[in-house]
Structure 1
């Protein structure tokens, strides 16, 4: 298998959530939890995507111990475009990234996904570290 293709919608069309949290079918992701990407920050939204690539980044870069996981999820409320990527970085939402203030239910898990290469991971981490150093690692939540 190969690493995910950027901007390619997941084959089933399902929404996905990448994390290191160990969840089960039926569990709900809810707003009001600590951010996967900024220690001490409580999030007002739950974030989901329709691309395996974006979910893979979420699983690989999430805070915490353990392996990354990608869950198939079903929102219980309305979704809106994620302004962190659509308005600020990638106009038009090619990553198909969304957020909601309502719970998101886990309906399955993708277990056979392939992560990014070590070089891709290091480049992404370097870029994120640079944004933090410059005070530009802003989350619009």
Structure 2
């Protein structure tokens, strides 16, 4: 079912999502130690995921790479913790339902009918991230 992403709305209870431009298949594992989706030359210590379609959509749209992004349904193989990059830094608590794990995460499905943000929203987000980078404030707590 196609629906627009709305901030803080859980996609489906118990379902975790990962947005990226990487072309993956069911059964593939996302593992720590790979290049960041967002910062060139940075290796990530965690795999990140969310329960909201909005946050996963941003991940798919803003990730490095060409072409349309992907939103995968994922299952972590280990314990989760709140993503400190949004929890209490940007939003009090964890209303984005964003998590990370140092353990592998398995791709168990893909959403193929998701709707992205408007081109104006994507440009605004990219411009904001570029400004943070220029100011030295685009720091990922990883």
User: TM-score, normalised on structure 1?
Assistant: 0.97
Alignment of 1:1-141 (within 5 A): 2-141=3-142
Gaps of 5+ in 2: none
**Higher mean Cα deviation, 7-16 or 70-79?**
7-16
Is the partner of 1:39 in helix, strand or coil?
coil
The runs of at least 4 consecutive aligned structure 1 residues that moved more than 2 Å come to: none
Deviation track 1:69-88 (CA, whole Å, cap 9, x = no partner) reads: 00000000000000000031
Is the partner of 2:55 in helix, strand or coil?
helix
Q: Aligned residues, how many?
A: 141
For residues 97 and 111 of structure 1, the distance between their equivalents in structure 2, rounded to whole angstroms, comes to 21
Q: What RMSD, in angstroms, separates the aligned Cα atoms of the two structures? A: 1.0
**In 2, are the aligned partners of 1:59 and 1:69 still within 8 Å (CA)?**
yes
Is the partner of 2:121 in helix, strand or coil?
helix
Is the partner of 1:24 in helix, strand or coil?
coil
User: TM-score, normalised on structure 2?
Assistant: 0.96
Deviation track 1:83-115 (CA, whole Å, cap 9, x = no partner) reads: 000031112110000000000000000000000
